[in-house]
Each structure stands twice: as structure tokens, then as C-alpha cells.
């Protein structure tokens, strides 16, 4: 970035060596195209220049803004959010400011000055990283060689008729054309990854697909923006451009398909249905213990878990309690989700899973676990229970008795579970997992 500073300071020498053929006038700015650059577009408020290797220079005059730093930043596209440098420099013979920013595949340098209210000027270089260094030299030469003519204000007491005689012809003054408001690029973006969002900017609808963005050119000043949130609610506000240049919204997240509920009018459960439901119920009990104690391997054998002595009491409960049948019918549907989360989830997601397991056991088998007292660490009773169980498992693992301890604990849980508060307050549902 020191190169940008050096280029601007050395530009006067370069201009002397290769001065362009003629000067151009854009508003109050007099400038000359650097050697090797051609003017691709001109209008009252600016000009665009193209040079070798994809380097471009944009000249904008008559911009709104009281601070050169803000004008320089606003002249750079919003996606170039990585700011590398900003410093005060001389721009076209005026006190000004330099801002250097980078996007993924482009580098930008913008020099701006504010010679008078409503007459801010920005000259912006855009180049690929490979050609940015070479582009800084002609860009700096243009900035140093350009000049600004500021209209003089009349002295107090001096009017248009003070220096003419009565018989002098009167010149009719043409009314000044209204100046166009400064234009700025803003970005609208749908942050959702699952559907189409409709964003309203100044009342105009913009439909954007998942993850899609759109750039629109708007005038400086206050604008209304209305957006939808992930939960379906709407938000609306007024925002000043160029202070704000990125506007995001979402769309309602699609509801996860609910697990099919048992059809009360359908056929009754067969004997095998009851046995299979009891097996899934035992699997969930052991999975809860597995995640709460943070075991490093699955200790139970299906033959032990699903032996008739363990399954029979649960089958009896399923026959007597329709709400328990409804719950066990859901377990196969959310089992892949919770087991996959335990295998590949983040640390935060895994710990949330452990809290779910602890809450499930506490609410449905209070005779098996009790919450320990304060242990000097942060967290609530569920956190203390998880820490206690993890320590106990680590101790049993150190004594090489993991399998025996796990088997004994699972038998105790199953025995207490059935005859206490089974399915009174179950948190293991497809919605929460």
C-alpha cells in the first residue's frame, strides 16, 4: 500500500515525461487522461477510463458529502469490504483523503476531496491484484495533474448591476439546471439457504433466490427497507445511504416434516410391533446414558438390551398407555438425526444433545439420578449432573470396568423407569432434535 502513496507523490514527474494531448472538463474538474488510457464514457457528473490489463479509472464529480473520507469509501463497491489503508493526501490540489480496499479478485484505491458543498470529487482505481501496482502510477498522475475550479462568491454589497451603466445591455441569466443527486451502489441479499426472499427497497420488490444478491444504484440520502425474517415476521426501517450499503433479509424456514402419528382408526399394533417399540425405547434410554456420560464407545450388546426380561415390562406399558405408543413410534424417525449429530456435530451441538439426554432421564427416572450440589463451576443442575456422570464414567473406565458399570446402570435405569414417571415429560421429539 506504500506504493499508492509513492505513486501519488511521484506523479508530477511522470506527467512531465508523458503529458496527454488535451485536457478534459467534467464539472469543476479539469483533468487529462493518462497515457495508455482511453475515455469510454463521459457525462456531466463523471467519466470512465479504461487502460491496459483490465485497469479502470472512474471519475465522479458533484457528489454529496462533507467529509472526503466518507466520499472515498462510498465510491468503492460495497463488496470490497476489506479496508487496507486510509490516509489524508492532496487530491487535485485540494486537501483530501485516500482509501484502499480489496475484494476477492479486485483491488480499489479511491482519492476524494470536497472543494465545496455538493461538489465532492472521487477518482477511483480498479484493478486485478496482478496489475494493481502498474495501475497506481497513471492513476496517481491523473490525481496530481487534475485541478478544481471553485466558483468565487461575490463580495458583500456587490451585485450583478454594480459595474454596468444604465444603457448597458441586460443579459438574461439562464436558470441553472438542477444537479443530479449523488448515486451509490447498495447490495440486497437473501441470507436464507432454503427459499426465495422478497426484499422491498423504497417500495420496489426484489425477489432473490437462496443466497442470491443484487446490486442497485440509488441516490444518497434516506431510503426505506422492508425485509422478512426466518420466522416469517417482517421488519422495516429507514437507512441513510452511503452510510449503509448492504441490506439483507430472509424467508420463512420450511417446517420439518412431522413424524407420522399413529392412526387411531388404523389397525392395532401386532405383537411384533409392541416388541419393536420396546426395543427402540430401551435404545433411547441407553443412548441418553451414552451421551450424558460422554462414553467413547457403545458398551451394550443388543442381546442383553433386548432380552425378554427387559422388554416384557415395557411391552406391558405400551399396551396400557397410548401416549407411550405414540412416542415410541416416533423414535425411528428422529434416531438418524440425533445419532448423526453426536457423530459429526459441533462441540456446542453435542453439549446441547447431552443436556437433552440428562433432562430426559431426570424427568422420567428421578429415582436413578439426583442432581448433585454446587461444585464451584458455572451452570445449572443439569450441567452439574453431566459433569458428575462424566467423572464417574472416567473413573470406571480407568478401572477397566466400563462394560460392567454400563450394563448395571442400564438395568437400574430400565427397572426404575417403567415404574416411575415414564413419558410424563419427554423432550426427545422430532421438533427438538
Residue 190 has pLDDT above 90, yes or no: yes
Q: Strands of 29-31's sheet, edge to edge? A: 24-26, 29-31, 147-148
| pLDDT for residue 370 | 76
Of 269, 423, 267, 294, the closest CA to residue 354 belongs to 294
pLDDT digits (tens, 9 = 90+) for 120-170: 999 999 999 889 989 999 999 899 889 988 654 444 444 444 434 444 444
DSSP secondary structure letter of residue 177: P
The domains spanning 2-148 and 183-249 adopt the same CATH topology: no
**Residue 294 CB: number of other CB atoms within 10 A?**
15
* Cell matching residue 25: 472538463
pLDDT of residue 16: 34
Which residue's C-alpha cell is 451502489? 185
Neighbouring residues of 7: CB distance < 8 A, sequence distance ≥ 6? 136, 137, 139, 140, 141
Q: What is the mean pLDDT of residues 410-424?
A: 51
Residue 70 reports pLDDT greater than 60 = yes
CB-neighbour burial class of residue 204 (10 A; exposed 0-12, middle 13-18, buried 19+):
exposed
Q: Given pLDDT bands bounded at 50, 70 and 90, which one contains residue 209? A: very high
Reply yes or no on whether the pLDDT at 55 is more than 50.
Answer: yes
Cα separations in angstroms, 216 against 156, 183, 184, 204, 226: 45, 10, 8, 11, 15
Name 397's Cβ contacts closer than 8 Å, sequence gap at least 6.
296
Helix (H, G, I), strand (E, B) or coil at 385: helix
pTM (predicted TM-score): 0.37
286 band by pLDDT with thresholds 50, 70 and 90: confident
Domain locations along the chain: 2-148, 183-249, 271-418
Q: What's the CATH number for 183-249? A: 2.60.40.1120
Q: Per-residue confidence at 230, pLDDT binned at 50, 70, 90?
A: confident
Share of the chain above pLDDT 70, in %: 75
**CATH class of the domain comprising 2-148:** alpha beta
Residue 303 above 80 pLDDT?
no
- Judged against a pLDDT cut of 70, whether residue 322 lies above it is answered with yes
Amino acid at each position: 500500500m506504500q506504493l499508492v502513496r509513492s505513486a501519488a507523490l511521484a506523479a508530477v514527474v511522470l506527467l512531465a515525461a508523458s503529458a496527454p494531448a488535451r485536457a478534459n472538463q467534467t464539472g469543476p474538474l479539469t483533468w487529462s487522461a493518462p497515457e495508455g488510457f482511453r475515455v469510454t464514457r463521459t457525462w456531466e457528473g463523471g467519466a470512465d477510463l479504461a487502460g491496459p490489463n483490465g485497469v479502470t479509472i472512474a471519475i465522479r464529480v458533484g457528489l454529496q458529502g462533507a467529509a472526503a473520507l466518507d466520499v472515498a469509501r462510498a465510491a468503492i463497491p460495497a463488496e470490497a469490504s476489506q479496508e487496507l489503508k486510509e490516509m489524508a493526501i492532496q487530491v487535485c490540489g485540494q486537501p483530501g483523503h485516500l482509501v484502499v480496499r480489496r475484494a476477492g479478485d479486485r483491488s480499489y484505491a479511491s482519492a476524494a476531496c470536497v472543494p465545496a458543498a455538493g461538489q465532492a470529487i472521487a477518482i477511483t482505481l480498479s484493478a486485478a491484484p496482478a496489475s494493481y501496482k502498474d495501475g497506481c502510477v497513471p492513476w496517481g498522475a491523473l490525481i496530481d495533474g487534475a485541478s478544481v475550479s471553485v466558483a468565487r462568491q461575490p463580495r458583500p454589497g456587490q451585485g450583478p448591476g454594480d459595474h454596468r451603466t444604465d444603457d448597458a445591455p441586460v443579459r438574461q441569466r439562464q436558470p441553472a439546471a438542477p444537479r443530479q443527486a449523488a448515486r451509490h451502489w447498495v447490495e440486497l441479499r437473501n441470507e436464507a439457504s432454503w427459499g426465495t426472499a422478497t426484499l422491498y427497497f423504497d417500495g420496489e420488490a426484489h425477489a432473490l433466490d437462496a443466497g442470491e444478491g443484487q446490486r442497485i444504484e440509488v441516490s444518497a440520502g434516506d431510503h426505506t427497507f422492508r425485509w422478512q425474517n426466518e420466522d416469517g415476521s417482517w421488519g422495516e426501517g429507514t437507512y441513510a445511504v452511503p452510510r449503509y450499503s448492504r441490506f439483507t433479509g430472509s424467508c420463512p424456514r420450511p417446517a420439518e416434516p412431522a413424524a407420522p402419528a399413529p392412526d387411531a382408526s388404523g389397525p392395532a399394533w401386532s405383537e411384533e410391533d409392541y416388541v419393536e417399540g420396546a426395543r427402540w425405547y430401551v435404545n433411547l434410554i441407553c443412548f441418553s446414558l451414552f451421551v450424558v456420560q460422554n462414553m467413547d464407545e457403545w458398551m451394550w450388546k443388543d442381546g442383553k438390551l433386548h432380552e425378554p426380561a427387559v422388554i416384557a415390562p415395557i411391552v406391558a406399558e405400551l399396551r396400557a398407555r397410548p401416549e407411550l405408543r405414540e412416542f415410541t413410534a416416533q423414535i425411528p424417525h428422529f434416531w438418524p438425526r440425533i445419532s448423526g449429530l453426536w457423530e459429526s456435530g459441533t462441540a456446542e451441538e453435542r453439549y446441547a444433545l447431552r443436556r437433552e439426554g440428562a433432562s430426559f432421564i431426570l424427568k422420567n427416572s428421578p429415582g436413578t439420578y439426583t442432581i448433585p450440589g454446587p461444585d464451584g463451576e458455572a451452570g445449572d443442575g443439569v450441567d452439574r449432573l453431566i459433569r458428575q456422570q462424566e467423572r464417574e464414567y472416567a473413573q470406571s473406565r480407568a478401572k477397566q470396568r466400563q462394560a460392567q458399570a454400563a450394563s448395571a446402570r442400564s438395568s437400574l435405569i430400565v427397572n426404575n423407569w417403567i415404574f416411575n414417571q415414564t413419558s410424563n415429560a419427554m423432550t426427545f421429539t422430532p421438533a427438538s432434535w
